[in-house]
């Protein structure tokens, strides 16, 4: 991650250095750059979709089948590849925590 920027410019957070995704703390518009605050400083990522607060974006490229970590825990496995800044959600992540009912 690069040099620190002011907290007011941060729009996503990472709580564990092993995380593959960041969580948006504010909504973002398609085409914007998201400043991701982590323990190593701030990383700036492009976002291609308009996304609401609370959703996840990829911190780095990940192939289909990869386990995804959030808050230091594996939360699921990707069903398709993602690029840095891509939305990671139910459309491309098979949850390892959700209970599905028949």
Domain ranges within the chain, ordered by starting residue? 7-95
Taking only the tens place, the pLDDT of each residue in 38-86 is 877 889 999 999 999 999 999 999 999 999 999 999 999 999 999 999 9
* Domain 7-95: top CATH class: mainly beta
Angstrom distance (rounded) from CA 56 to CA 87: 6
The 10 Å Cβ neighbour count of residue 55 is 17
Shortest CA distance to 18 belongs to which of 76, 70, 86? Answer: 70
Q: What token pair was written down for 38?
A: 């982590």
Indicate the pTM of the whole model.
Answer: 0.83
**Residue 24 falls in which region: left (phi positive, over 0), alpha (psi -120 to 50) or beta:** beta
């Amino acid at each position: 991650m690069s040099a620190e920027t002011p907290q007011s410019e941060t729009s996503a957070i990472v709580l564990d250095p092993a995380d593959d995704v960041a969580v948006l703390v504010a909504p973002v518009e398609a085409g914007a750059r998201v400043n991701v605050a982590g323990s190593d400083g701030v990383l700036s990522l492009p976002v291609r979709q308009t996304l609401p607060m609370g959703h996840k974006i990829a911190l780095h490229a990940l192939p289909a089948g990869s386990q995804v970590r959030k808050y230091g825990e594996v939360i699921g496995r990707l069903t398709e590849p993602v690029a840095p800044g891509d939305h990671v959600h139910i459309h491309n992540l098979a949850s390892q925590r959700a209970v599905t009912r028949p």
